[in-house]
Structure 1
């Protein structure tokens, strides 16, 4: 996209990058946000208690980003901090070990601008990284997610954290939850017939490596507590089956 066309596009989206000891990936992540075909309102990088080179990597970008260092040791609290700092009409959360396709914001923001009733726009993803880990998890190179259906979302989280959210409708993540915080946030945000939309093609890259594999200890118990105790879904047992079949693919 040339500079004239870029200047005609509104800077509506804030990108919040959260980082904990991912300095080795952070540069690629930030560069992917700077390379967007649509200009963004701001790029906020939050370094949560890292003891690697994350700070020096972030600061090397100077005033191209807004940098904050916190000591929360809590991913959801870090994201909520970014939410408070963001002033865009829309917000996209991005983990520092992942990165965006160059047209991610363009594609998602255009869908948002077409429909004021949309609360979330999400997409498929590319899976990259350690091939052995991907094979073990049953992951293909490309995932297209599912069309939006709230009744399915109750039992299967197919909306990634790397989605565009309408800022003024989103109250943040529950910092007390140990697992499924994003899933819980989507169910709360979209309750009552609110709208979300899928873009089928992948718009970001999810990196799989040894440090970001989810610990699955007590997963069945935690899924039960999430579905039955927290959200009251009597079909919670269905979620256990779906998690076993799809959890590694769409979680």
Structure 2
């Protein structure tokens, strides 16, 4: 890597993966140890879910070939769990993505998580632009596959993990799709279960029948059983709002 015979030296090198992702990180070299550091190294570990104790293969290349910029390949067998867009988003958006609750069968690939990052970013921008009153607690995004277990009759069930604190046990909430175009703002009655803490939203069929653009697409469709949705429940001084969007 071209290190000199110094007691301690630092170089900036490029770590590349076969997934087409490059990270510029700091490599610290001393007589007894060589290690990586800096936020970009932490980001690479988070992107691939690398934990302490895991083995990672590094390809240093041919030492006889001079490189314009020092680089090495990181050979990771597992696919990324987070997209690059996650690391370019705001700290608030990253926290939302990290807290996301996935119901059974709704796990997203790292490419699909671009939609999740985009949805959280749209919500953040919406709140800033509209000066939305403060939310009680933290946003917990929900990734939900619409099926007959959570949508039946005319009701939709949201698990208690995503229900904000201090919500009234029953009332009315706004159901808002903030995708491009004119936002769809509907009102639906709801009730929070005393037993499970889940929230049941009534009159959901009118939300299913509302044609809106899909996340990351210009196509407008009605929601159907089997579709995947992303939703965030907001509860604040202005009342309760369910922000949602349908994935393509």
Q: Compute the TM-score of the two structures, normalised by the length of structure 2.
A: 0.25
Q: Name the one with the larger strand percent.
A: 2
Q: Compute the TM-score of the two structures, normalised by the length of structure 1.
A: 0.25
State which structure, 1 or 2, has the greater radius of gyration over its C-alpha atoms: 2
Q: Name the one with the larger helix percent.
A: 1
